[in-house]
Structures are given as structure tokens and as C-alpha cells.
Amino acid sequence: MTPHPDSDRSAVHPGLVMTALAMGGFAIGTTEFATMSLLPYFSAGLGIDAPTAGHVISAYALGVVVGAPVIAVLAAKLPRRTLLIGLMAMFALANSLSALAPTYHWMLLFRFLSGLPHGAYFGVAALVAAGLVPPNKRTQAVSRVMAGLTIATVIGVPFANGLGQLLGWRWGFGVVAVLALTTAVLVWLYAPHDRPAEGASPLRELGALRRSQVWLTLATGAIGFGGLFAVYTYVASTMLAVTHVSPALVPVILGIFGVGLTIGNLGAGWAADRALMPTGAAMFAWSAVALALYPFAAGNIWALSLVIFLIGFGGGVGVVLQTRLMDVAGDAQTLAAALHHSAFNLANALGPWLGGLAIAAGYGWTSTGWVGCLLALGGLAILGISVAVERRTTTRLCVAI
């Protein structure tokens, strides 16, 4: 991927820009994961039961899936800096409304609206970050932006949850609105001024959907990422029912997962700039092994802590797939980059659903590890198909020449 044309980099400090963009990731990661931990409190506050409150989380995920492609296409002619500021302003408003939601149905609507900017923001932010550095460092740049989301699982989520318990669940959403507004200001201050690429249009962005490699990369993420979520969703219940630990240890283990995710994200970014596809394959293989170890480790808190860290580390494959989409999207960069996060949220739905089926079928809480292992291997298989198809296409072109 080449740098975005017409960007003014003369007065741009890449580190400040990436910090500003990572702040947005921190805000998004905080609300995405903290909503799960705040569920008992806002369900009681809105007078609904826990399963019904779970629809609030699904509404956010649906907003991500819908908003990523729609916004990317409709905003094709907007400068990226302007789009990022607008997305964070929209995110701030929607989270403010969530904090003020008077009823369950209003909460559903406001969480759906909160999800709309999510995928488009990350997609555009990744493109801006990659355009600020040499091509051989672009995945590391993307990983630094995504680090905001991973660090949120370690710091932002416990803070929002604690604030929600201390002052009321509405403050958990209110603090995210403040973080989003802070991001908008930082992007306004530090992001490079740019103009849309020549010929940019919604129709050109839709051209990404004609590329088989785009679909294969999205499928890799939607299937392969599902393994991580199959375990993460039920880890608290597994700890209580199988490991038999105090509920106070649950946030500690979730924090260990976040540390693993952060280190894996940065490590995968470094490795991918040296060997993109081998890094992706290695990360999926790593995840498959770590997830297969989960059922054996669940009975011991120390073994479980290590395995949860290893599972989190495997989540670093996300930055590999984000860069892969930059390579295969051609001139439809924004839509492809944003769709990566739609695929991520499809994985967030698929993994827990399949894990839940295994538990309901009587295979026990730890069966989610086997489900996750199979999904990770599925992601690895699709990645292998993608590479094979690309090589065959390249060979045909060489023979034709």
C-alpha cells in the first residue's frame, strides 16, 4: 500500500498521530468489553433480566457489522482526517446517549448507533498510520494503533467497571464519551491534512467486493478469530464451575488475557513486517495449540493463567490480516480495511455460539477450548487456500507473459 496522496507530512510527528489514533482504539475497546462486565448493573437499572440485556451487546456488534461497510462506501470522498474526527464525534454522542438511556429499547438503539463508527474508525486509522511510515514498518504502525484496544482490556475495562460499580453503570458509558471526544481533539491537532485520492468514489470502494483475496482474508478472520472468542466468552463461568476460584480472581485472569493480547499484537506487527503470511500462519497454529491446552489447564489456576496469556497472544494475528487486506484491496482500501472489523465481530458472534452449543450438548465448560482449536485451524486452512490461490494466479500471469 502506498501512502495516501496529498497528505501534508512536513509538520506531522508519526508518534503523536499514532498515539491520537490509539486513544480512539482505547475508547472503543473500553466500551466493547466493559459493556459485558456492566451487564448485571444496567440490566437491573433498566428492569430487564440478564439474557435480555445480552441483546444490548449484540446490538453493538450488529452496528459494527453494518456500519463498517456502509460508512466506508458513503464517505469515500471525505478526507481521512475529517472522517476520523466525525466518527469519534459520533461515537462520543452515541455513548453519551447510552449513558442517558431511559428504557431497554432506547438502550438497544443507542448501542447499535455506538457500534456504527467502530469498524470504519479502525479501518481508516490503520490506513493513516500505515501511510506515515516506510512500507517495511506499516504492520508495526497498525499494531500501535490497535494497541489502544488491547490496552483497554487491561486498564480501560477494569476502570469503567469500577466506576460503574462505584457511581452507577451510566458512568461506565459516560467515561467512554469523554475518551472519544479527547480522541477527536487529538486527531484534529495532530493528524495530517489530506485530500481524497483522485477518483475516489463509493463505486470504486465497492470494487473491493469483486476481489476473491479480499473475501478469503475476511473469511480467515471471521472463522479463525472465533476460536479466541469461544473461550473468552465463557472463561469466567469456567473459572467458577471448574477451577473453583473466588469471583475476585476473574478480572485478574481477564487482565492476563489483555496483557497477552497486547504483547501478541505488537510482536505480530514486528514479525509481519519481515514475513507477513508466515507470521499469520504461525499465529493461527499458536492459537490452535493454546486453545487445545485450555481444557487440560482449566482445573488449575496457575496453568489456566499461563494458557489464557497464550490464547491472548494469539489474537495478535489481527494486525497481520489488516495489512493483508491493504495488499489485496487495490484502490478500494477504505472498505476492505473497515470490513476487517465486521469480520472480527462476526467471529465474536460465531465463537460464543458454537461454544454455547458444545456446552449445551453436555460436553462441559472446557469444551470451548476444543471448539476454539477447530476454529483456529479453520482460519489457518483458509489462509493456506488464500496463499495457494494467489500463487496459482501469479504462475498463470507469468506463463501468459
Same domain, 48 and 139: yes
Q: Is residue 173 domain-shared with residue 143, that is, in the same domain?
A: yes
Local structure of 209: helix, strand or coil: helix
Cα gap 196→81, rounded to integer Å: 10
DSSP letter at 11? T
| CA 212 – CA 205 distance, rounded (Å) | 15
Q: Are residues 261 and 367 in the same domain?
A: yes
Shared domain check, 210 and 156: no
The domain boundary, picked from 169, 200, 231, lies at 200
- Written as nine digits, the cell of 332 is 478500494
Q: Which of 359, 245, 357, 262 is nearest to 304 (CA)?
A: 245
Taking 3-state DSSP, the helix, strand and coil percentages for the chain, each rounded to the nearest 5, stand at 85, 0, 15
Give start and end residues of each alpha helix (H) in 315-366: 317-328, 333-358
Out of 154, 180, 200, a domain closes at 200
Same-domain check for residues 125 and 263: no
% of the chain at pLDDT higher than 70: 92
Domain containing residue 344: CATH number: 1.20.1250.20
**Residue 394: Cβ within 10 Å count:** 10
Q: Is the pTM of this model over 0.95?
A: no
pLDDT at 10 > cutoff 80? no
Do 193 and 217 lie in one domain? The reply is: no
- What is the rounded CA–CA span in Å between residue 344 and residue 379? 12
Choose among 182, 177, 184: nearest CA to 97. 177
Structural domain tally of the chain? 2
Domain that holds residue 236: 205-401
For residues 193 and 248, membership in a common domain is answered with: no
Domain boundary, last residue among 200, 219, 242: 200
Does residue 241 share a domain with residue 160? Answer: no
Condensed to tens digits (0 to 9), the pLDDT of residues 24-73 reads: 999 998 888 777 667 777 888 888 876 677 778 778 888 988 888 888 88
Query: Is residue 126 domain-shared with residue 261, that is, in the same domain?
Result: no
- Placement of cell 473461550 in the chain: 231
Do 159 and 280 have their domain in common?
Answer: no
- From 100-109, 203-212, 345-354, the region with the lowest mean pLDDT: 203-212
Q: How many CB atoms lie within 10 A of CB 380?
A: 22
Q: Cβ–Cβ contacts within 10 Å for residue 392, how many?
A: 10
Same domain, 17 and 50: yes
Q: What is the pLDDT of residues 292-321, one digit of tens each?
A: 999 999 999 999 999 999 999 999 998 899
Same domain for 165 and 214, yes or no, is no
If you search the block for the grid coordinates 448485571, which residue do you land on? Answer: 40
